[in-house]
Amino acid sequence: SWSGNYRSVMADNGLPLQPLSLGKIYRIIPVKEFHCLNITWQLPSQFANWRSKPCDYISHLIGHESEGSLLSSLKSKSWATALYAGAGSQGLEDASSHALFTLNIILSEDGVSKWQEILQEVFTYLGMLRHYCSQPDGLPEWIYKELESIQKVAYEYGDEHTA
């Protein structure tokens, strides 16, 4: 029946990444001359948050490129050239059992040797966001309005999808 409520049995198995595999640093030697720092956080499924989209909000703040942003700070030190953050909307990134929020930082040659300092900046920035989110007034409303405008434009001018 179409009115039935279906639940994935995978949700009963818990999160896919086991505690022993978390908090690790994996160094991979690139085939091409390309350097990036990827940080991934395992989160509960975000399906129930489809209306408020907290991962979109956080990725917007982390990925912002204006003065005072994480990327602006990393660029000013010549450690990074680009930064991307978010929980993808397909497959493993956002499933019924979990979500994976990833921060990808494209490193400069100087940034490769400064990866520990970059991690420190990332967690300092996240701490600042957490501090402001816990304040009675929360984050400034202009952030929400900016994200709302971006979503409206994306919806109005996005490609049409056929079923």
Residue 89 has pLDDT above 80, yes or no: no
Q: How many CB atoms lie within 10 A of CB 151?
A: 14
Q: Is the pLDDT of residue 108 over 90?
A: yes
What's residue 95's pLDDT?
73
Nearest to 102, CA basis, from 17, 38, 18: 38
DSSP, residue by residue, 96-138: SS-EEEEEEEEE-HHHHTTHHHHHHHHHHHHHHHHHHHTSTT-
Question: Is-contact 99 54, C-beta < 8 A?
Answer: no
Q: For residue 147, what pLDDT is reported?
A: 86
User: Is residue 145 pLDDT above 60, yes or no?
Assistant: yes
Q: How far apart are CA 70 and CA 43, in angstroms?
A: 22
pLDDT at 67: 92
Highest mean pLDDT out of 33-42, 117-126, 145-154: 117-126
- 85/106 Cα distance (integer angstroms): 11
| Rounded percentage of the chain residues whose pLDDT exceeds 90 | 34
pLDDT value of position 21: 78
Output the pLDDT for position 121: 96
Q: Which pLDDT belongs to residue 150?
A: 87
> What distance in Å separates the CA atoms of residue 75 and residue 62, rounded to the nearest whole number?
14
Question: What is the distance between the alpha carbons of residues 128 and 126, in angstroms, rounded to a whole number?
Answer: 5
- Say whether pLDDT at 94 is over 90: no
pLDDT digits (tens, 9 = 90+) for 19-78: 787 888 888 887 888 899 999 998 888 888 878 888 888 999 999 888 999 999 999 999
Burial class (CB in 10 A: 0-12, 13-18, 19+), 101: buried
